[in-house]
Amino acid sequence: MHPVDLTIFVAYIIGLLAFGYFFFRKNKSGDDYYVGGRSMKDYHVGLSVVATDVGGGFSIGLGGLGFVMGISGSWMLFTGLIGAWLAAVFLIPKVKRNKAFDNAYTFPQLFEYYYSPNVALVAAVISAIGYAGFTSSQMLAGAKLASGTFADLDQQTALYIMGAVAVIYTVMGGLKAVIYTDTVQWALLMFGLVFIGLPIAYLEIGGLDAIRATLPPEMLSLSNISWQDMVYWAVTIIPIWFVGMTLYQRIYACKDEQTAKRAWYLAGLFEWPVMAFLGVLLGLFARVAADQGMFEYLGAADISDTDPETGLPMLLRTVLPVGLMGIMMSAYFSAILSTADSCLMASSGNVVTDIIGRIKPFDPDSSRFVTISQVATLVIGVLALLLASAMTNVLNLMLDSYAFMVSGLFVPVIGALFWKRSTPAGAMTAMLAGGTTTIALRYSGVELPYELDPNVFGITASALSFAAVSLATGSGGKSKKDNL
* Residue in 309, 409, 341 with CA at minimum distance from that of residue 166: 341
252-261 pLDDT, tens digit per residue, is 888 899 999 9
3-state helix, strand, coil in the chain (%, to 5): 85, 0, 15
Do 345 and 246 meet the contact criterion of CB atoms below 8 Å apart? yes
Using CA atoms, how far residue 154 sits from 55, 283, 311, in Å, is 23, 22, 15
pTM: 0.84
Rounded to 5 degrees, φ, ψ at 159 are -60, -45
- Residue 454's pLDDT is 92
- Residue 57's pLDDT is 55
∠ Cα 254 259 263 (to 5°): 90
Residue 281 has pLDDT above 90, yes or no: yes
Work out the average pLDDT over 422-439.
Answer: 94
Residue 234 has pLDDT above 90, yes or no: yes
Mean pLDDT: which of 159-163, 175-179, 409-413 is highest?
409-413
Do 111 and 423 meet the contact criterion of CB atoms below 8 Å apart? no
All structural domains of the chain with their residue ranges = 3-394
297-340 pLDDT, tens digit per residue, is 887 777 777 788 788 888 888 898 888 877 777 776 776 777 78
113-145 pLDDT, tens digit per residue, is 999 999 999 999 999 988 888 888 878 877 877
The percent of residues above 70 in pLDDT, for the chain, comes to 89
- Residue 36's pLDDT is 61
Single-letter code of the amino acid located at 424: P
**CATH number assigned to the domain with residue range 3-394, chosen from the 4 options 1.10.3470.10, 1.20.1730.10, 3.30.565.10, 3.40.30.10:** 1.20.1730.10
